[in-house]
Amino acid sequence: VVGARCAYRTLVGSNPFYRGMTTQSATMGCSFCATPADGDLLRDGAAFAARQVAAACRQLARPGVEMRFEMIGARLWRQLDEFLAELARSGVRGAEFSFMPRIDEILAARAAIVRCLPLLAENKLALRFYGTGVENFSPDENMRLNKGVTAASVHEAAAFIAETSARWPGQFRFPAGSLSMILFTPWTTLEDVRINVENIERCPLILARGVIGSRLQLFQGREITLLAEKDGLIAKSSGGDFYNSGCIVAADQSEIPWRFAHPQVAALCELGRELYLHYFGESRDDPRAKEIAELVARESALSPSPLAPFRRGLETLAENPKIKTLPELLGVMRGRKKRS
């Protein structure tokens, strides 16, 4: 650990969704995140991190076993050149370094990454990436999340990542499907989902079937929780199964339940969750699971897209605005009843 995990901050007042709201600070990062605004206190984080890694390698290295380090510190990512050069000078060999940069930080570091790849190969070192978030391709949703990236920047970064991973697979490790998303929020509209589906299908670094059930989690003190309270979208209870997007990191951490502003989207989110469980969950033998399996088989025969059943649900809802629940949606998709 060589500083704050993320240095991204913007003025609260610069975001139209939060302008005029009373928040804990005049600045904010991603509105759903609790990363503090504390500055890095180390004068030279690169040298400090390199010394720590070198010491660990001397004490713990085993022949033929690659050592793995998780690197935390936004400034360290900006000092990638110096950090890796210092590692090479220190004689560090056979190690992998995991970073969690933002999309814009990857784009800003492209030249440095390309410069470092031969050095990594020469010293049997590697970079691994995890936790990089797109969050949402809809401009409105992304603004509420205060993510600070655009669809264009995501696709630009994805192209660089795919090309670099193909050319340097041993040194640049960014597995397909690694980009994370928050597809559903209390404010999501069908148009927001349509924008996301079109962009997800363009981006192989997103595991399409893995994000269709992803939703926002609200926690105390986050700016986006205050926005949901302001808009009357906090619910009394969740009414659903336990869900953790990876944001619950403590036993005493409680999610604040919320509701959808648009009931049709609630039905689509439920469909997305059922499809996710079909693809990745344990085998089930209940009527709902069987109905989802039939839907997947039917729609997948018509389209090669992994999002075919989900897209069909989206289109059905757009064509039938009176549908408000998943059972109604599945009924129309089966063709057993018509709604207008």
| Structure confidence by residue, pLDDT tens digits, 243-276 | 555 565 565 678 899 999 999 999 999 999 999 9
Average pLDDT over residues 294-317: 92
Q: Is the pLDDT of residue 37 over 90?
A: no
Among the listed residues 70, 66, 126, the one whose alpha carbon sits nearest the alpha carbon of residue 99: 70
Q: Is the pLDDT of residue 9 over 90?
A: yes
User: To which H or E segment does residue 69 belong?
Assistant: strand 67-70
For residue 60, what are its two tokens? Answer: 């713990």
Helix boundaries (H) for the chain: 45-60, 74-78, 80-89, 103-108, 110-122, 139-145, 151-167, 190-200, 208-211, 223-230, 263-280, 287-300, 308-319, 326-334
User: pLDDT over 90 for what percent of the chain?
Assistant: 76
pLDDT in tens, 112-159: 999 999 999 999 999 999 989 999 999 999 999 999 999 999 999 999
d(CA 225, CA 335): 39
228 neighbors 288 (Cβ within 8 angstroms): no
d(CA 157, CA 79): 19
Comparing 242 with 75, which gets the higher pLDDT? 75
Residue 326 pLDDT level (bands cut at 50, 70, 90): very high
Average pLDDT over residues 17-36: 90
Instruction: Give me the chain's average pLDDT, please.
Output: 90
Among the listed residues 250, 242, 239, the one whose alpha carbon sits nearest the alpha carbon of residue 325: 239
**The length of the chain, given as a count of residues:** 340
Residue 101: CB atoms within 10 A of its CB come to: 21
pLDDT at 251: 57
d(CA 268, CA 317): 8
Which residues, 6+ apart, have CB-to-CB distance to 305 below 8 Å?
A: 201, 208, 311
